[in-house]
Amino acid sequence: MKVHLKTMGCQMNVLDSEILRSLLASSGMEMTDDAHAADVLLYNTCSVREQAENKVHSHLGRACGKKADGRGVIIGVLGCMAQRLGPELVKRHRGVDIVAGPGQLGRLVELIQLVADGGGPQIAMDPPRPEIKTDDKIEFFDHKRDPNRCHLPGQAYVRIMRGCDKFCAYCIVPYVRGPERSRPADDIIEEVRRLVDAGVTQVTLLGQTVNSYRSGGVGLADLMERLDGLAGLKRIRFVTSYPGDFDHAIFQAMRSLPKVCEYLHIPAQSGSDNMLRAMGRRYSRGEYDDLIAVARQTVPGIAIVGDFIVGFPGEAEEDHAASADLIRQSGYKNSFIFKYSPRPGTTGAKRLADDIPEDVKRRRNRELLAVQQEVSLADNRAMIGQTAEILVEGPSPRADKQPNSQNQLVGRTRTDHIVVFDGAENLAGQYADVKITNATALTLFGELNE
């Protein structure tokens, strides 16, 4: 059977899809990039905003429409949207055969087989939150990973926890990904060791609130200290951090452990205390500012990245101005800015009317982006003249648009700055010293040091 798997959403989904590819290939299925050639069409989905879900609905509409013409493809919806909508998906799209929540992906081969054998639609949902135990063996699925399969040459995501207990008013994640569960440190170290043996030199530790990691008395800083000792590993990153309850030992680890990169993704969501309170974030603007100050004092050269939501219910112009101010003050390397999208079942959607008009959300989004662009440009320009160590990802996606530059490569610094430069394609997965010669708000340009 030929399988086409399309991935939406966050790094967790990218990782889940990597593991699924290993699992499917090891049970004799063939992966294909060509959706038209596939016998099985799988969508690993995201529920974080309505737009992400709408995209999946239109894919499903098209795929199920074709199926009505007589093609017997098997269609599966996986991940967050599968967990959120469950059997509704089969009702809305006649032709969907498999619905599997994020914790059910280990059963996918079995589910495909059941459908192929004429067993009809298979709906495999994770149990509701109260029934999920915090000592569940969450690493079972991760063990299925083929360490030779990477999302980029030499780079791997490694899950250290699942779920979220924070229940921010806008967020669907605690409902679809279940409660926070940390994976035993020994198990993580063993997986990273296997990855390193297969040639991986950069690992990104994943968790929805990765700084809350704690297993058998081991916190994130201790875990990174143990990983730092692994020969062959060169870079350790971790995403995404929650600004409340942030253990300063993590900053100390970033400062003193040579492999831990100076990169911190720490979403503020808003710069206004009123909004932070309404969103149920468990910190104030002042506490966030203090945390960023400690990060900058402790970790020289740290790059900080934020997320913001514009147009959360009740957001006044002065709240919006406070977010713009926070972007300037924090000096983010970049930030991800989103228009509020009410998610059914969250406290925000249940209790607060979505009262900021779409055109106002759009304007605020544009305004924050413009402020961030200025900040990013200044930050990038300051790097001109410096030489940075780049982990090369491969050919720059823009390479074919610039005919006089055949071998344009793209890679990232320790601080996750994107750098484009000319070099041989076989540098993918390798480290190179690149002198930065030019900068835009999004990209640095450089020349390979010979």
Do the Cβ atoms of 448 and 434 come closer than 8 Å?
yes
Q: Of 101 and 348, which has the nearer Cβ to ligand 5AD?
A: 348
User: Is 206 one of the binding residues for ligand 5AD (CB under 6 A)?
Assistant: no
Tell me the C-alpha distance between 76 and 44, whole Å.
Answer: 9
Q: Which does 160 bind (CB under 5 to 8 A by kind): ligand 5AD, ligand SF4, none?
A: none
Q: Of 170 and 263, which has the nearer Cβ to ligand 5AD?
A: 170
Q: Which does 275 bind (CB under 5 to 8 A by kind): ligand SF4, ligand 5AD, none?
A: none
Q: Helix and strand tally (H, E) in the chain?
A: 14, 21
DSSP assignment letter at 126: P
Which two tokens mark 445? Answer: 């340009």
What residues between 324 and 343 interact with ligand 5AD by CB under 6 A?
Answer: 338, 340-341, 343
User: Is 311 one of the binding residues for ligand 5AD (CB under 6 A)?
Assistant: no
Q: Give least dist CB 85 to ligand SF4, A.
A: 12
Residue 438 backbone dihedrals phi, psi, to 5 degrees: -160, 165
- Identified binder of ligand 5AD from the candidate list 48, 164, 250, 260, rule CB under 6 A: 48
**Footprint of ligand SF4 on this chain (CB under 6 A)?**
9-10, 12-13, 46-48, 79-80, 172-173, 176-177
Q: Which of 281, 264, 255 shows the shortest CA–CA distance to 205? A: 264
User: Is 354 one of the binding residues for ligand 5AD (CB under 6 A)?
Assistant: no
What residues between 241 and 280 interact with ligand 5AD by CB under 6 A?
Answer: 267, 269
Q: Give least dist CB 201 to ligand 5AD, A.
A: 27
- Identified binder of ligand 5AD from the candidate list 5, 38, 160, 171, rule CB under 6 A: 171
Contacts of 253-260 with CB under 8 Å at 24 or more apart are 253/220, 253/221, 253/224, 253/225, 254/298, 254/299, 254/302, 255/298, 255/299, 255/300, 257/224, 257/225, 257/228, 258/228, 259/224, 259/227, 259/228, 259/233, 259/234, 259/235, 260/224, 260/228, 260/236
Q: Which does 170 bind (CB under 5 to 8 A by kind): ligand 5AD, ligand SF4, none?
A: ligand 5AD
Give the position of tokens 């710069």: 271
Tell me the C-alpha distance between 417 and 153, whole Å.
Answer: 17
- Identified binder of ligand 5AD from the candidate list 273, 307, 325, 447, rule CB under 6 A: 307
Q: Give least dist CB 130 to ligand 5AD, A.
A: 23
Q: Give least dist CB 14 to ligand 5AD, A.
A: 14
Residue 275 CA to its chain's centroid (Å): 24
Q: Of 341 and 376, which has the nearer Cβ to ligand 5AD?
A: 341
* Biggest alpha carbon–alpha carbon distance for the chain: 64
Which two tokens mark 326? Answer: 């926070």
Q: Of 12 and 292, which has the nearer Cβ to ligand SF4?
A: 12
Q: Give least dist CB 402 to ligand SF4, A.
A: 33
DSSP 3-state percent helix, strand, coil across the chain (nearest 5): 40, 25, 40
Do the Cβ atoms of 425 and 417 come closer than 8 Å?
no
Q: Which does 307 bind (CB under 5 to 8 A by kind): ligand SF4, ligand 5AD, none?
A: ligand 5AD
Closest residue by beta carbon to ligand SF4: 9
Tell me the C-alpha distance between 151 and 119, whole Å.
Answer: 34
Q: Which does 221 bind (CB under 5 to 8 A by kind): ligand 5AD, ligand SF4, none?
A: none
What residues make contact with ligand 5AD under the rule CB under 6 A?
48-49, 170-171, 267, 269, 307, 309, 338, 340-341, 343
